[in-house]
């Protein structure tokens, strides 16, 4: 590759970019191919007074763009865990955490507020987790697929309707339980349960890389 036709600034650009490409593990043949491809554009713009840096940006950044970073590669290869039980638990803990904290906040500001019972809270959270997993299973995970590969809307609406109805009935049924079985908890206890649920969910997500049921798939 002849650099004599380049200005000193453009020669410096090629020199720095070449060193970066070699540093990134490119072979001599790969470096040569990359530079040969860009050289006509550099020469053409050089005639107009446009430097390679102006055209392509910083030489190290431009050269580094030809190398896939390990972190990017790992991110692309990382696959979310779609285990049904973990996805259900993940969403359930989110519901329990949010509802418990809301109950706690209302309890702190108004002592006469009636909080959810313990069994009601569990039914609301874990029933909601099941309903949301059904939504993921029948809708979200099929987004982007061919129409023939997606379940029919009639079946989808029926299943989701039954899931939501089951969730509501389960939660409503807990209201008829005696106080001994479904005790109302103090605001501070609700707060502890809420925070513990959200923290536990966070650590589960980090450990198992769980796919969120409310994330549409492409």
For 127-182, how does the pLDDT look when each residue is reduced to its tens digit (9 = 90+)? Answer: 999 999 988 888 777 776 666 677 777 877 888 888 899 999 999 999 899 989 99
What does pTM read for this prediction? Answer: 0.61
> Would you state the structure tokens that stand for residue 132, as one six-digit string?
């949301």
Query: For residue range 151-165, what is the model confidence (pLDDT) as tens digits?
Result: 777 877 888 888 899
Residue 216: what pLDDT? 57
Residue 160: what pLDDT? 84
Query: For residue range 28-65, what is the model confidence (pLDDT) as tens digits?
Result: 888 888 988 888 888 888 888 889 888 888 888 898 88
Residue 153: what pLDDT? 79
- b/e per residue, 32-69, with b = 16+ CB within 10 A? eebbeebbeebeebbeeeebbbebbeebeebbeeeeee
Residue 156: what pLDDT? 79
Nearby residues of 25 by Cβ (< 8 Å), 6 or more positions away: 67
Identify the weakest region by mean pLDDT among 9-13, 75-79, 132-136.
Answer: 75-79
Residue 92: what pLDDT? 96
Residue 145: what pLDDT? 66
- Each domain of the chain, given as residue ranges in start order, spans 8-75, 84-208
Higher pLDDT, 66 or 76: 66
Residue 191: what pLDDT? 95
Residue carrying the six token digits 């329990």: 96
Alpha helices in the chain (DSSP H): 8-23, 28-46, 52-56, 59-64, 70-77, 84-109, 118-138, 153-174, 187-208
Dihedral over Cα of 8, 10, 12, 14: its sign = negative
Residue 76: what pLDDT? 42
| φ and ψ at residue 115, rounded to 5 degrees | -90, 165
């Amino acid at each position: 590759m002849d650099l004599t036709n380049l200005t000193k600034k453009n020669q410096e650009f090629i020199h720095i970019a070449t060193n970066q490409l070699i540093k990134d593990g490119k072979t001599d043949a790969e470096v040569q191919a990359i530079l040969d491809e860009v050289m006509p554009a550099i020469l053409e713009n050089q005639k107009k007074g446009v430097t390679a840096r102006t055209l392509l940006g910083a030489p190290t950044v431009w050269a580094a763009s030809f190398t896939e970073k390990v972190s990017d590669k790992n991110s692309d290869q990382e696959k979310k865990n779609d285990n049904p039980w973990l996805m259900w638990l993940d969403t359930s803990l989110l519901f329990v955490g949010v509802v418990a904290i809301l109950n706690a906040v209302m309890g702190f500001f108004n002592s006469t507020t009636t909080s959810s019972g313990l069994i009601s809270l569990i039914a609301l959270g874990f029933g909601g987790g099941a309903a949301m997993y059904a939504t993921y299973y029948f809708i979200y995970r099929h987004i982007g697929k061919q129409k023939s590969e997606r379940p029919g809307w009639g079946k989808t609406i029926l299943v989701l309707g039954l899931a939501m109805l089951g969730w509501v009935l389960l939660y409503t049924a807990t209201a008829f339980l005696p106080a001994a079985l479904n005790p109302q908890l103090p605001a501070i206890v609700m707060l502890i349960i809420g925070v513990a649920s959200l923290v536990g969910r966070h650590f589960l997500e980090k450990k198992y890389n769980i796919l969120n049921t409310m994330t549409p798939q492409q």
